[in-house]
Structure 1
Amino acid sequence: MLAFNNTSNWPTFFFIGIPGLETAHMWISIPFCFLYLVAFMGNVLLLILVRTEPNLHEPQFYLLAMLALTDLGLSLSTMPSVLAIFWFDVHHIGLDACLTQMFFIHTLSSIESGVLVAMAFDRLVAICAPLNYTRILTHYTVACLSGASLIRGATLLAPLPFFLRTFSFCGANILSHSYCYYPDMLNLACGDVTFSSVYGLVCVLCTFAVDFVFILVSYMKILATVMKLGIQDRNWKSLQTCACHLCTVLVFYLPLISLAVLHRYTQETSPILYTTMSNAYLLMTPLLNPVVYSLKSRQIQAALRKRFWAQRVVAGE
């Protein structure tokens, strides 16, 4: 039963779970647990393969390992509150815990967006300047790109929890998702939230919008280069190496954009739609990325087959 809070600087927030299906939460937890388990195992397996297989010691796979590490962080950031709702019917969370979860979710999302830009740059150099690939995409370059994504995300988003701490919260602090999300919490704040709202918009424009434009321009340049070289099997095979990255970009940005649109431009959206989009935003990305790369990348498939047969040989002995 959700209670109403008096105006307070130290409120309790409430997750609604899946509206209308409260009695089925225990059953719904089964597929959620399965999806979290698959996401966890898939990303851990990618990290192990990149770490142990010499054929994967290349810049594009180091960036893939960074992507998998970020996806693991996103899964672990949302899993406690989601499973607490479904398993234990725990719908409340304190301010400090909520702000901590919110910071990690937004920071890791920003880092993932930055890693996707680095992966687009990797494909751009590989196809448009293949002779200079080893000179440009060195281990140092990969480390700098990954570090820049981390610093940008942490620096831009660090003020968000402090902004929310300056507000009082009144009424029923009911969140629209199964985790803490900055626009959702800001809607519950009492007082003038104009500056905080504008800063949040600036963060979105400086991260996701800029990153998406760079990725789009990169692939326009890649396509133009392939078309200029002529329609040959070798060129189209080079273009096909971008398929994994393009699928990952779509899986990440489409739910993100849809959720942002729902928050800013719809006032009476169905709570079930909010819940579906929010879970798709932060659960499907860590789940689908390992699947996409396992199905599309020949090097990953070869590494998986090698490890599988090695385990069978050991078991047979």
Structure 2
Amino acid sequence: MEALERFNFKPGTHCRQKVIFIQFEKDPELIKQVKSVEGTRWSTRKRVWYIADTPENRQFFNLEQIRQTSKEAETELQKFKAHLFSRRYSPNTVKTYTDALRSFLLFNNEKEVSTITNDDFIHYNTHYILKNNLSSSYQNQIVNAIKLYFKTVQEKNLDIEKVHRPRREKNLPNVLSKEEVKAILEAHNNIKHKAMLSLIYSCGLRRSELLSLRLTDIDSKRNIVIIKQSKGKKDRITPLSPKILPLLRAYYIDYKPKVWLFEGKQPRSMYSEQSLQHVLKQALAKAYIKKPVTLHWLRHSYATHLLESGTDLRYIQELLGHNSSRTT
């Protein structure tokens, strides 16, 4: 693996086995590197990559002695995590922020946390963030996490503004043509897979929103889908296409889900994100689409196709659940 310094390795246990957890920025290239190593696995429950803790694997990763955060740092990380949960941050944000803070504390492992100063953060920015060419979004997440930790847990202010944040990247969203979307939605013969992808596109749903839908969230009489406690703890309503309703009814007759609209192999269990990604991957292969399409591309395409057909931007904003029209 290249650029090992961009990975944090932490020994632990998973399913009663000794493993090495591999933590890193959410980056497609880094994910590709990890997946290329034989024996690596993704833990859906812990949401982290891991590999068996063996002498061979330690040697492969050049881990003669895995660097671990001090006991004091681990205590501070737990305090920070408890604070984030008490403030009702989402589990994903809690994980992202604590991982970012762990990286910073590990970099300053030789110092007591209470003695860390602005100079330490500037040094970390120069010799870790910039050296490893981390993405601008991840850099900002690290800065936000460290700033929040010292303000709330340590109750002291680091002058974060002395560290120049990267300019926010302004990338155009990835959008599929209507013909490409149609090919993807019609690729599967399995009615469950077809229904999941169709609902994501026709309602502009996030992946987590689709998987969190319950049977009671589909109001067939009013032709709406009720999306509860989505990103930002917000509820919203989106129209249900008349073309999708017969598909959902046929799916329900075949599968008879009990609680969640789309359930896993075990009754009453939520369908996994990994399985949903695989459903899309299969559809792309069957439709002969070579683009690196993600589930979020379907949401982008939904919004763009509405805009191209003359739908008001403010209405699209409400459908997507955005706070600001600038985001839309």
Q: What's the TM-score bracket when you normalise by the shorter of the two chains?
A: under 0.3
By percentage of residues, which structure has more helix? 1
The normalised TM-score by structure 1 is: 0.24
The normalised TM-score by structure 2 is: 0.24
Q: Which has the higher contact order (CA 8 A, sep 6+)?
A: 1
By percentage of residues, which structure has more strand? 2
